[in-house]
Amino acid sequence: MTDTNRVALAFSGGLDTTVCVPLLEEEYGYDEVIGVTVDVGQPESEFAEAAETAAALGLEHYVVDAREAFAELCFQSVTANATYQGYPLGTALARPVIASAILDVALEHDCNALAHGCTGKGNDQLRFETVWRGSSLEVIAPIRELGLTREWELEYAEEHDLPVEGGSGGRYSVDTNLWSRAVEGSELEDPATIPDDHIYKWTTSPSGKEAEFVTVTFEDGYPVALDGEEVDPVSLIETLNEQAGAHGVGRTDVMEDRMLGLKVRENYEHPAATVLLTAHEALEGLVLTAEERQFKAQVDQQWAQKAYEGLVDSPLVAALDGFIAETQKRVTGNVTVKLEGGHCRPVARESPHAAYSESAASFDNADVTESITQADATGVAKYHGFQSRLANASFSDAEGDESIDEPDDESTTTTDPAEIAHD
């Protein structure tokens, strides 16, 4: 460990993180600030901006490629059918990956602290810090701790001649990674505003484009191929983003409940995630039993909630992963989805582990497996709903004692269980 007082900053080159550099030196007394940018699939322009800003600040800057690690977590989320309030998790999954990469750089370069530019109103501060606070390094959040506003930051940047352009790039706050693109801010903060199509970059408006079919191959719940061709995870996601996005697939406009209790309006694009989640759930429908699907829905919901909170490394998630992994042993096969008019729907599925018998389910076959015949269902039908019929009959009689004349001797009303069972 050196005597230099050094801090590693999650650095994007935007207004918040640019302002954080001199603040960490002036207000927090750090001798040296290291900027770390983590690649989870952002546009190249964002890396160019970060590098340019870092150079202008004289900031030691590192870029870490974490796309493969992020894609792996995205595919893990597919095995859990993970969505939060109706949309696939994207930013939430990326933050722990980014935080872990920054922590690795900080430890490698003997840093004393870690810093981020998050405000005190969002989710990301919690997602970063749940990873960082597991280390011995100090955690600093200048924007939150100093109570800074965007207006103050712009004035500070101008006074200190910091390299920011008009407050960093447009009126929307946009977060992009391999799995999703999130857009918020400006007029979108009004829930009554209908967004213009210009906010979307990955998806086109549904039009008369001819329908397209895509077959996704899964092994143990993980996507491994498109239309029979094996593809690495990053390329698979990028391909589906382009292919499904061209059909307008994967848009969500949602009033999202954040962890701190605030409700915000978010617009998302997630073409690949929509296709893979749709196909995976369709394959599970073929191979899992009814009991597995019912219980797994509860497990999936808990997994998604913890992932939204940035707690993918929690003991609960590890336990949930154990159950999910067991179910995924049979989630191998192909699913064909149809992309058309902004929609993605499964149209065919096959698996060597299907919990399905065509002959047993067919309306046309008389001879079926395990010597099951239609007549065998008669006994089941007699008992199905028996308690409900008994309860309803008893309740009707009880009400009749108060409001209905006594039946005459020829009445056929009965609460005899044996007779009710045979009705």
Least confident of 152-161, 230-239, 350-359, 406-415: 406-415
- Reported confidence tier of residue 422, pLDDT bands at 50, 70, 90: low
Mean pLDDT across the stretch 351-369?
77
Q: State residue 150's pLDDT score.
A: 87
Q: Which of 154, 172, 190 is the last residue of a domain?
A: 172
Catalytic residue among 39, 124, 175, 300: 124
Q: State residue 55's pLDDT score.
A: 96
- Reported confidence tier of residue 360, pLDDT bands at 50, 70, 90: confident
pTM value surpassing 0.75: yes
356 domain residue, yes or no: no
Q: Is the pLDDT of residue 167 over 50?
A: no
Q: Is the pLDDT of residue 117 over 60?
A: yes
- Reported confidence tier of residue 399, pLDDT bands at 50, 70, 90: confident
Average model confidence (pLDDT) across the chain: 91
Q: State residue 25's pLDDT score.
A: 96
Q: Which of 172, 187, 212 is the last residue of a domain?
A: 172
202 domain residue, yes or no: no
Q: Is the dihedral of CA 158, 20, 122, 262 positive or negative?
A: negative
Q: Is the pLDDT of residue 168 over 70?
A: no
Residue 65 is part of which domain span? 6-172
**Angle in degrees, CA 264, 266, 267, rounded to 5:** 165
Are 38 and 98 a contacting pair, CB within 8 Å? Answer: yes
Known catalytic membership, residue 95: yes
Q: State residue 366's pLDDT score.
A: 56
Burial 94-133 (b: 16+ CB within 10 A, else e): bbbbbbbbbbebbeebebbbbbbbbeeebbbbbbbbbbbe
Q: Is the pLDDT of residue 364 over 90?
A: no
Question: Tell me, what CATH number does 148's domain have?
Answer: 3.40.50.620
Q: State residue 71's pLDDT score.
A: 98
Q: State residue 166's pLDDT score.
A: 43
Strands 263-269 and 181-184, sheet pairing: antiparallel
Per the DSSP assignment, residues forming a β-bridge with 63 are 37
Q: Is the pLDDT of residue 170 over 90?
A: no
Q: How many separate domains does the chain show?
A: 2
- Reported confidence tier of residue 1, pLDDT bands at 50, 70, 90: very low
Mean pLDDT across the stretch 299-305?
98
Known catalytic membership, residue 330: no
Q: State residue 125's pLDDT score.
A: 97
108 domain residue, yes or no: yes
Q: Tell me the per-residue pLDDT of 81-109, one tens digit each, with 9 for 90 and over.
A: 999 999 999 999 999 999 999 999 999 99
167 domain residue, yes or no: yes
Q: Tell me the per-residue pLDDT of 218-276, one tens digit each, with 9 for 90 and over.
A: 999 999 999 999 999 999 999 999 999 999 999 999 999 999 999 999 999 999 999 99
Q: State residue 165's pLDDT score.
A: 64
pLDDT greater at residue 164 or residue 340: 340
Mean pLDDT across the stretch 377-406?
81
122 domain residue, yes or no: yes
Are 333 and 353 a contacting pair, CB within 8 Å? Answer: yes
Q: What is the dihedral of CA 350, 249, 340, 74, to 10 degrees?
A: -10
- Reported confidence tier of residue 206, pLDDT bands at 50, 70, 90: confident
Mean pLDDT across the stretch 10-25?
95
Q: Which amino acid is at 63?
A: V
Strands 251-257 and 263-269, sheet pairing: antiparallel
Report phi then psi at 223, rounded to 5: -65, 135
Report phi then psi at 393, rounded to 5: -65, -45
Catalytic residue among 95, 181, 265, 349: 95
Q: Residue 187: count other Cβ atoms within 10 Å of its Cβ.
A: 13
Q: Tell me the per-residue pLDDT of 317-344, one tens digit each, with 9 for 90 and over.
A: 999 999 999 999 999 999 999 999 999 9
Per the DSSP assignment, residues forming a β-bridge with 333 are 218
Known catalytic membership, residue 173: yes
- Reported confidence tier of residue 411, pLDDT bands at 50, 70, 90: very low
Q: State residue 358's pLDDT score.
A: 83
Known catalytic membership, residue 16: yes
Q: State residue 401's pLDDT score.
A: 60
Q: Which of 172, 192, 221 is the last residue of a domain?
A: 172
Q: How far apart are CA 114 and CA 102, in angstroms?
A: 8
Q: Is the pLDDT of residue 385 over 50?
A: yes
- Reported confidence tier of residue 135, pLDDT bands at 50, 70, 90: very high
270 domain residue, yes or no: no
- Reported confidence tier of residue 373, pLDDT bands at 50, 70, 90: confident
237 domain residue, yes or no: no
414 domain residue, yes or no: yes
Q: State residue 365's pLDDT score.
A: 63
